[in-house]
């Protein structure tokens, strides 16, 4: 057997993970020291350390200096979602992407938007509503506010041609983002543009971004009925 003795740190991680799954290390248990595991598995402590870091980030174990490593008793399900720009998402499904600007005005930010940004004073913002279509069917209706103080460049953009979503993603990196999901009943504008009956349940993805402490944009993206968001494996 020329099986390489090479042990990627991911292998070590999987070995430890397996032991946690099969209860060699049960919930609440203290694991051996990195050094001892390293000795047992025939690798360096750094390798075990790297594996443990990952397991710790996955939420499977808890590590404390001196205290050692413990298997978490209340494992949380940790799910990571990739939220691409809408055009990309639609194109990846193999559908044709279209985009329509619904409205575009300058307004002082209302309380709800100030709350999302965490600001005390209203600010002059660009308020744009737009519809993203997949194969000519409404896919996502977005209601967006953009702070023109942090992002004056948006004022020079023809939003009937390029979506704010896309322009922002390419031209305005953010340092902090807040993402939340909730359900909303279709009514008024959202029902109208998504061509659904009022009363249907719709999934909303709300995203707010800042650069430093300065608000950039906040958007309510309302998905058409049936939309599902699923985690990366």
Partner DNA sequence: AATATTAATATGTAGTTACTTAATAATGTC
Partner DNA sequence: GACATTATTAAGTAACTACATATTAATATT
> Where do contacts with DNA occur on this chain (CB under 7 A)?
4, 6-12, 31, 33-35, 42-47, 49-50, 52-53, 56, 63-69
Q: Is 62 exposed, middle or buried (0-12, 13-18, 19+ CB in 10 A)?
A: middle
Closest to a copy of itself by CB, 54 or 98: 54
Q: Tell me if 81 contacts a copy of itself by CB under 8 A.
A: yes
Residue among 9 and 139 whose Cβ is closer to DNA? 9
Q: Give the per-residue contact string, 98-137, with a copy of itself (x = CB under 8 A; - = no).
A: ----------------------------------------
- DSSP secondary structure letter of residue 216: E
> Residue 35 is encoded by which pair of tokens?
């050094």
Q: Which tokens in the block code for residue 112? A: 């709800």
Distance between CA atoms of residues 206 and 223, nearest Å: 11
Cα–Cα nearest to 144, from 120, 161, 168: 168
State in angstroms the smallest separation of the CB of 11 from a copy of itself.
16
CB of 23 or CB of 33, closer to DNA: 33
Sign (positive/negative) of CA torsion 129, 183, 111, 217? negative
* Rounded to 5°, angle at Cα 60 from 59 and 65: 85
Binding of residue 80 to a copy of itself (CB under 8 A): yes
Q: Which of residues 101 and 184 has its CB atom nearest to a copy of itself in the complex? A: 184
Nearest 5 degrees, angle CA 153-CA 157-CA 160?
150
Residue whose CB is less far from a copy of itself, 27 or 122: 27
Q: How far, in Å, CA of 114 to CA of 210, rounded?
A: 13
Distance CA 15, CA 185 (A): 47
Name the minimum Å distance from CB 42 to DNA: 7
Residue 84 beta carbon to a copy of itself: minimum distance, rounded to whole angstroms: 5
Which of 76, 94, 161, 188 is the binder for a copy of itself (CB under 8 A)?
Answer: 76
- What lies within 8 Å, CB to CB, of 197 at 6+ separation is 186, 191
At residue 87's C-alpha, the angle toward residues 85 and 91, to 5°, is 120
* 75 forms part of the interface with a copy of itself (CB under 8 A): yes
- Provide the mask over 20-59, with x wherever binding to a copy of itself is found by CB under 8 A and - wherever it is not: xx-x---x-------------------------------x
3-state secondary structure of 149: coil
Q: How far is the CB of 128 from DNA (least distance, A)?
A: 38
Q: Which residues bind a copy of itself (CB under 8 A)?
A: 20-21, 23, 27, 59, 73-85, 88, 169-170, 173-186, 199-204, 207, 211, 223, 225-231, 233
């Amino acid at each position: 057997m020329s099986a390489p003795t090479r042990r990627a740190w991911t292998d070590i991680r999987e070995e430890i993970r397996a032991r946690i799954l099969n209860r060699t290390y049960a919930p609440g248990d203290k694991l051996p020291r990195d050094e001892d595991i390293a000795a047992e598995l025939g690798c360096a402590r750094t390798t075990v350390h790297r594996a443990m870091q990952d397991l710790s980030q996955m939420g499977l174990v808890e590590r404390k200096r001196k205290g050692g490593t413990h298997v978490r008793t209340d494992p949380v399900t940790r799910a990571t979602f990739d939220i691409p720009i809408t055009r990309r998402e639609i194109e990846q499904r193999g559908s044709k992407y279209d985009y329509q600007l619904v409205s575009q005005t300058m307004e002082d930010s209302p309380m709800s938007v100030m709350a999302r940004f965490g600001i005390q004073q209203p600010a002059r913002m660009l308020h744009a509503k737009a519809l993203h279509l997949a194969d000519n069917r409404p896919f996502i209706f977005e209601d967006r506010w953009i702070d023109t103080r942090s992002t004056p460049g948006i004022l020079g953009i023809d939003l009937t041609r390029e979506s704010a979503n896309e322009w922002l993603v390419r031209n305005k990196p953010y340092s902090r983002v807040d993402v939340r999901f909730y359900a909303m009943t279709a009514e008024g504008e959202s029902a109208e543009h998504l061509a659904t009956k009022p009363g249907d349940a719709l999934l909303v993805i709300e995203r707010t971004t800042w650069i430093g402490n300065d608000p950039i944009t906040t958007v309510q993206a309302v998905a058409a009925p049936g939309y599902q968001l699923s985690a990366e494996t």
